[in-house]
Amino acid sequence: MTETKVNSEKLIGAQIFLECLRKEGVDKIFGYPGGVILSIYEALYSCDFIKHYLVRHEQAAVHAAEGYARATGKVGVALVTSGPGATNTVTGIANAYYDGYPIVVFTGQVGSNQIGNDAFQEADIIGITRSCCKHNYLVKDVKELPRVIKEAFHIASTGKPGPVVVDMPKDVLCAKSSFEYPETIKLPGYNPNYNGHPKQISKALELLCEAERPLILAGGGIVASAAMNELKLLSEKLNVPVTNTLMAKGVFPEDNDFSLGMLGMHGNFWANHAISSCDVLFAIGTRFNDRITGCLKRFAKDAQIIHVDIDPCSINKNVKVDIPIIGDAKNVMTAMLEEFDSNNYEIHFDVKQSWREQIGEWKKKRPVFEHPSEKLSAITVIKKVYEYAKNSDPIICTEVGQHQMWAAQLMKFNKPRKFITSGGLGTMGFGFPAAIGAAVGTDNGLVINIAGDGSIQMNIQELATCVQYNLPVINIIINNGYLGMVRQWQEKLFNKHYSQTKISGPDFVKVAQAYGARGYRVTKEEEIIPVLQEAIECREPVFIDCVVEECEMVYPWVLAGDPLNKVILSNE
């Protein structure tokens, strides 16, 4: 390992920690102080190269770091104390792990000589997070701190991105050492393969060219790889339509003729039928989670499956594939395009055209959006917000529930990193702090969080963070008085036994005002645009409480365990 000596003067661990962040280009972090990390906050007091954003709950610090990472493509950083501070981060760490976004979470720990003695505010965060992070470290010597931090950022941002946890005992942060930061790292057990095998790539290309009913399934790995242009070129050259997962919204332009939009449990009817009827499925950067496969035995049952993923553990894990390619999405598709251009591959455009015509017939069958009463429709609210805001190039964040699925269905994107939502873990309370991170990462560009009246209360305290730093995040609260998605399942699957899903909430307008933010209430369709316009123009944190119909349903809907082509389109 080569090291560069930066400072011969000895620094304490807390100062070394900040110098390491400087070396990694970190200038913004999200955190919450506590006893064992006070030495870091003392160093931060006079630090002029890092801006610290004080959240009001440690979970929100991690979600904000992830929102920052999603919006910018950089590694997000969270800093918390030991014990409950550390355990409060677990949901955020797991969320970033399942959706594959790079964050480094620094936790304080009791002194090294107290570990294992049930000391005050001690928690085994290494053991707790082992199953829900990409890697974790317990720093045992201040001299190890630079190497560990260098490795943490490298692991978080390479291969399949993900969270890394660094646990730092109090005595390590107070001990002195000279600061030497590694220029390079060597991790013998960690060598992601970025280039797919040439023979496998050739096989995949031949299969796609010969296919009569080919389909590309684009996953979130394309975002991490920045492979959007390669995906578009490959689709157009091979005349293959593209469907995407929830995590991949925007990786393929949704206004493109080849786009089928999102598939899955609440995905487009035609996308689900296409994947159920294709003869070759080219899946890139997806782990085939159950929300996009439905019944595994019936998933793409007539197709030969090509699967590209940089994570070898994702291949053949959920879906058995015919041509596995371990590699980076951008590199693999670049190799395919180069081979296609340099060889005389024959494309049966007439055959593939009939396939696209069949998809066009499926597109005519659309869900029926039913409004059970005269009350304001949640669907109308989300449509209006999208139509008004889309020309301002907003980042749309969501919480989790019905509103999330309506937003995913109704809002269209032509580039990635504009739709930020919790996929794999389905974390209520994610959207608002993630929107804070996105606002910080984009220097307060237009960020709108679509929330439910249940999920917004999970991290409602972060209004104080928004107000303190004047972050102009707009929260659109779809207030239907229920935990809407759970109520929907109860209506269809549990004989309308609405057990513990009707909820009461505060007056969200007064809550916003109490925190020093702006609050508005919308009950009629004609009120939506004037209120939204004022919210955007004021450049302040805003709650817009939209009181909507209680019993709207999300369609299309594939019931859990059903095949994707068994789609419910309406209450009928």
- List average pLDDT for each run of 10 residues in the chain, which is 572 residues long: 55 98 98 98 97 98 98 98 98 98 98 95 98 98 98 98 98 97 93 96 96 97 98 96 98 96 96 97 97 96 97 95 98 97 84 90 81 87 97 97 98 97 98 98 95 98 98 98 97 96 96 98 98 98 97 95 93 75
* DSSP bridge pairs for 482: 502
Farthest-apart Cα atoms in the chain, separation: 75
Residue 439 neighbours by CB distance under 10 Å: 28
Q: Using DSSP bridges, classify how beta strands 176-182 and 3-12 pair: parallel, antiparallel or unpaired.
A: antiparallel
pLDDT at 5: 46
Look at strands 163-169 and 135-138 and give their pairing: parallel
3-state secondary structure 271-318: HHHHHHHCCEEEEECCCCCHHHHCCHHHCCCCCEEEEEECCHHHCCCC
Contact 123, 82 (CB under 8 A): yes
Query: Beta partners for 522?
Result: 546
Sign (positive/negative) of CA torsion 207, 208, 209, 210? Answer: positive
- Which residue, 155, 162, 54, 33, is CA-closest to 103? 162
- Residue identified by tokens 């930066």 is 6
User: What are phi and psi for residue 402, nearest 5 degrees?
Assistant: -60, -45
Strands (E), 139-196: 163-169, 176-182
Neighbours of 559 (CB within 10 A): 14
Which residues are known to be catalytic? 58, 120-121, 170, 485
Which residues sit opposite 176 in a β-bridge?
12
Rounded-to-integer distance, Cα 441 and Cα 461, Å: 20
Rg (C-alpha) for the chain, rounded Å, is: 25
Q: Which residue type occupies 134?
A: K
Instruction: Say what the pLDDT of residue 1 is.
Output: 40
Torsions phi, psi of 174, nearest 5?
A: -100, -15
Q: Which CATH class is domain 378-547?
A: alpha beta
Contact of 396 with 406, CB cutoff 8 Å? no
Tell me, what amino acid is at 105?
A: V
Which residues are registered as beta bridge partners of 281?
215, 305
CATH topology agreement for domains 3-182 and 198-363: yes
Confirm if 479 and 503 have CB atoms less than 8 A apart.
no
- The residue ranges of every structural domain in the chain are 3-182, 198-363, 378-547
Residue 446: Cβ-neighbour burial (10 angstroms; 0-12, 13-18, 19+) = middle
The pLDDT value recorded for residue 365 is 82
Closest CA to 473 of 504, 508, 447, 511: 447
End-to-end CA distance of the chain: 66
For residues 241 and 277, the answer to whether their CB atoms sit within 8 Å is no
Distances 27 to 155, 341, 362 between C-alpha atoms, Å: 19, 43, 49
Output the pLDDT for position 379.
Answer: 96
Question: Thinking of the domain 198-363, which architecture would CATH place it in?
Answer: 3-Layer(aba) Sandwich (3.40)
Which residue type is seen at 7?
N
Do residues 371 and 552 make contact, with C-beta atoms less than 8 angstroms apart?
yes
Measured distance CA(559)–CA(491) in Å, rounded: 13
Please give the pLDDT value at position 8: 61
DSSP state of 293: H
**Is residue 71 within 8 Å of residue 420, measured between CB atoms?**
yes
Q: Round to whole Å and give the CA distance between 534 and 542.
A: 10
274 vs 288: CA distance, rounded Å: 16
According to CATH, the topology of domain 3-182 is Rossmann fold (3.40.50)
Residue-wise burial string across 173-187, b where 16 or more C-beta atoms lie within 10 A, e elsewhere: bebebebbbbeeeee
Give the residue among 225, 186, 195, 194 at the shortest CA–CA distance from 100. Answer: 225
Contacts of 65 (CB under 8 A, 6+ apart): 29, 30, 76, 77, 78, 92, 96, 103, 105, 437
CA pair distance 455, 37, nearest whole angstrom: 31
How is 404-461 classified by DSSP, letter by letter?
HHHHHHH---SSSSSEE---SS--TT-HHHHHHHHHHHTTS--EEEEEETTGGGGSGG
Handedness of CA 56, 58, 62, 65 (dihedral sign): positive
Decide: 438 and 449 in contact? Cβ < 8 Å: no
pTM over 0.85: yes
